[in-house]
Amino acid sequence: MNLKIYEKEAGMEIYMEGELDHHGAKDTMRRINSAIDASMPQTCVLDMSGIGFMDSSGIAVVLGVYRRMEEVSGSMRVRNVPVQAKKVFKAAGVDRIVDFE
């Protein structure tokens, strides 16, 4: 998973690129969490336009970011979710918890 993390005035923006499965999930989570811990942003936007494939491992990653942002009293949104990943989120009911743009 390729991550591009930008800190803007409005908050943190993370661009995810690649296939999000169990194989890369742990490392992805660790890198996102350490970025959040380092700068404690008010908002975090996950841009998933570069996700070519995602399975339920991606649910754990997104909910992990959601919880981490709650811990630092911030909020998060998910943006540009491709059709396949959207279907996974919907089947799991994640769209009722997390804010999708």
Partner 1 sequence: MQPVNEMNLEFPSRSVNEGFARTAVACFAAQLDPTIDELNDIKTAVSEAVTNSIVHAYPGKIGPIHIRARIFEDRSIEIVVKDKGIGIPDIEQAKKPLFTTGNEERSGMGFTIMDSFTDKLVVRSRPGYGTTVKMLKKMLPFAGLK
Binding site for partner 1 (CB under 8 A): 19, 21-23, 25-26, 29, 53, 55-57, 59-61, 63-64, 83-84, 87-88, 91-93
Residue whose CB is less far from partner 1, 4 or 22: 22
Residue whose CB is less far from partner 1, 42 or 49: 49
Residue whose CB is less far from partner 1, 43 or 56: 56
Cβ at position 83, least distance to partner 1 in Å: 7
For the record, the structure tokens of 82 come out as: 């491709």
DSSP symbols for 49-83: EEEEEE-HHHHHHHHHHHHHHHHTT-EEEEE---H
Residue 4's Cβ-count burial label (10 Å; 0-12, 13-18, 19+) is: exposed
